[in-house]
Structure 1
Amino acid sequence: METPAPLIAECALTDLAGGLAVVRRFTRLTLQAWTGDTAVDDALLVVTELATNALQHGGGHALLRLTVDGTHVRIEVFDDDPAPPVRRPAGADGGWGLALVERLATAWGTARHGRGKVVWCALPAQSAELAG
Structure 2
Amino acid sequence: MSALTAYLDVPLSREAPATARRAVTAVLAGWGFRDEDWLDSAAVVVSELVTNAVRHGGGCVALHVEAHDERVTVSVADGSSVVPRRRDPDGVGGRGIALIEALSTGWTVQNHEGGKRVRVVLSPCPGVRTGESGSARGSAS
Fold equivalence (TM over 0.5): yes
- Counterpart amino acid of residue 22 in structure 2: R
Q: Name the CA distance, whole Å, in 2 between partners of 1:82 and 1:42.
A: 26
What is the SS of the residue equivalent to 2:111? strand
What is the SS of the residue equivalent to 2:51? helix
What's the offset of the Cα at 1:15?
Answer: 2.3
- Structure-1 residue corresponding to 2:128: 127
Q: Name the CA distance, whole Å, in 2 between partners of 1:101 and 1:55.
A: 17
- Structure-2 residue corresponding to 1:111: 110
What's the offset of the Cα at 1:70?
Answer: 1.9
- Structure-2 residue corresponding to 1:42: 41
Cα contact 2:64–2:75 (8 A) shared by 1: yes
Quote the sequence identity (%).
Answer: 33
Q: Name the CA distance, whole Å, in 1 between partners of 2:71 and 2:129.
A: 13
- Counterpart amino acid of residue 30 in structure 1: V
TM-score when scaled to structure 2? 0.84
Measured on the aligned residues, the alpha-carbon RMSD in Å equals: 1.7
Q: Name the CA distance, whole Å, in 2 between partners of 1:94 and 1:17.
A: 15
Q: Establish whether residue 28 from structure 1 lines up as the match of residue 25 from structure 2.
A: yes
- Counterpart amino acid of residue 24 in structure 2: T
Bigger CA drift: 110-119 or 33-42?
33-42
- Counterpart amino acid of residue 97 in structure 2: L
Q: How many matched pairs?
A: 129
Structure 2, unmatched stretches of 5+, are 131-135
